[in-house]
Amino acid sequence: SGNGWNNDFEINSQLEQIKKYNYPAEVLVIETWSDEMTFYKWNGKNFWKDPKQTVRDINDAGMHLILWQIPIIKHEWDLEPSQQLLQDIDEAIAKGYCVKDKDGKPYRITENWFHNSLLLDFTNPKAVEWWFSKRKYLLDMGVEGFKTDGGEFLFDKNVVLHNGLNGLEAHNLYPMQYIGAYNSFMQNNNVNGVTFSRAGYAGAHSQAIHWAGDQLSKFSELKAQLCAGISVGLSGILFWGFDIGGFAGELPSPELYLRATAFACFCPIMQWHSEPRKGQFYSSYDADFNNDRSPWNLAEYYNDESLITIATKFANIHSNLKDYIWQEAQYSVENGIPMIAHLSLYFFEDEKALAIENQYMFGKKYLVAPIVEEGAKGREVYLPKGDWKHFFTKEIFEGGKTVFVDCGIDEIPVFERLKYD
């Protein structure tokens, strides 16, 4: 996905590149698809000549479509509000569909992002029914998931929800109610869809997929994602991913991008994303600068076709592991073991494994040790007891020791566990 993909020309261009390079993509996420006011109506014909055809084109390319969502009714600061937005505001307030302050007035978001906007009360069944009645047509046209962004907007501890909870009691529960409502919406309409979220609380493992949020394109941020992935697994999140090469700032270097791609290859979710074209955290780009984190855009920018070759290699590895990932995903759901698992979850009697913070098990079979240091040509890897086979070289290693593993830019230290229950 890319935040700049806000029209059918951009989408068709991406589909052409995917086909040209035989890149095994399966899901396309469109963030800036809507009118940017109601967040349920497609933008006008200057952007999308025929949204139904766009969805068909994506499906015909063998891909599933996810659309971005946010749980607010927007306060428009910059433009003249559309009539539909004004009607939605009036109806939501009149019928009590929004979160209220302690005086019974509509609560308005106090922080910068969507400041002054209304927040839907997902504990109100009538509000939920109203909300999704406006989005049902999206499922009918073939949308199969929603990127349920936000969820952290309940900042005032004194607000009151329909179910009687105040803001302090409901703050951490709100994203669960929001994301859960979207999952129920799809299930109730017989859509085997998915939510893709970043907010959560205890029980978030029941809400499908999470991603790490927005990161800058820096090695320090890549290193943080390794810690984050292992930590969220220990917190109970089963399926997680991050933005390959970062989301914002300067374009990632080829080294950063390929190290991140290799890491993401051995995650449940392998995906790239990018900030708005004018920049979100990095504002010196002009509007015409293409900051997509796609391998073909970076290959063009750096005049380096190997970026496409190596990125596609890792994408194919991930695709070829699909049956294994599906099998391990079922195991995760049945046993509560995350797919990115701290070594202690499988080697709990191994004191050295307990202390390892920069390796993980990807399911029961693969030990993964991403390279997240700039300029590194390899790294130390601790292998618990047993026999292990290097994923790329096929060399057999005896476990119970630490080994140094050389690693070119087109590989990652991954070891197959040869015997396990």
Task: Please tell me which residue in 31, 88, 144, 149 is annotated as part of the active site.
Answer: 149
3 state SS of 195 = strand
| Two tokens, residue 210 | 């999470």
Are 283 and 250 contacting, i.e. CB atoms less than 8 angstroms apart? no
d(CA 343, CA 348): 8
7 backbone φψ class: left, alpha, beta (φ>0; ψ -120 to 50): beta
Beta bridge partners of 251: none
416 counts as catalytic: no
Give me the helix-helix angle, 125-133 and 83-94, nearest 10°.
Answer: 160
395 counts as catalytic: no
Which spans in 216-373 are helix H?
Answer: 219-234, 254-265, 295-302, 306-320, 322-335, 351-355
d(CA 231, CA 224): 10
Written as one string, the DSSP assignment of 141-177 is: TT--EEEE--------TT-B-TTS-BHHHHTTTHHHH
Phi/psi of residue 129, nearest 5 degrees = -60, -45
Are 261 and 311 contacting, i.e. CB atoms less than 8 angstroms apart? yes
26 counts as catalytic: no
What is the Rg, in whole angstroms, of the alpha carbon atoms belonging to the chain? 22
d(CA 192, CA 31): 20
Strands 360-362 and 340-341: antiparallel
Are 172 and 126 contacting, i.e. CB atoms less than 8 angstroms apart? no
Are 338 and 233 contacting, i.e. CB atoms less than 8 angstroms apart? yes
Task: Please tell me which residue in 8, 35, 214, 250 is annotated as part of the active site.
Answer: 214
**Which amino acids are annotated catalytic?**
149, 152, 214
